[in-house]
Homo-oligomer: A and B are copies of this chain.
């Protein structure tokens, strides 16, 4: 019953960090932004994003500030320097990983 395709481990974290690199955002906004940025290919719901944001904040990768906006209270998140470093590391892992798999999927002759 997986709504998202099955290659999801660590992907929400990676995307959230990447989007917050461009600009601060609040949780509800991030949910929509992830889906929009990936063309609905990856679309984790609030039940995934909110706990993730809390964890990332607890780890010191994000800074949260609740701030009134448009009559409501929103919680805006920004990347910390630690968060930037994590983003770089994850991006690196992601690239190495996908490259390796791509290579296997592509050709035979792995024995050479």
* Chain A residues in the interface with B (C-beta under 8 A): 5-11, 14-15, 18-19, 22, 33, 36-39, 41-42, 90-91, 93-94, 96-105, 108, 110
Contacts and interface: CB of A to CB of B under 8 A. Distances in A.
A93 B4 CA distance: 10
Contact of A42 (B7, B22, B94, B101): B101
Nearest to A22: B108
A interface, over-half SS: helix
Contacts of A105: 14, 18, 91, 94
A9 B44 CA distance: 15
B93 A7 contact: yes
Contacts of A90: 6
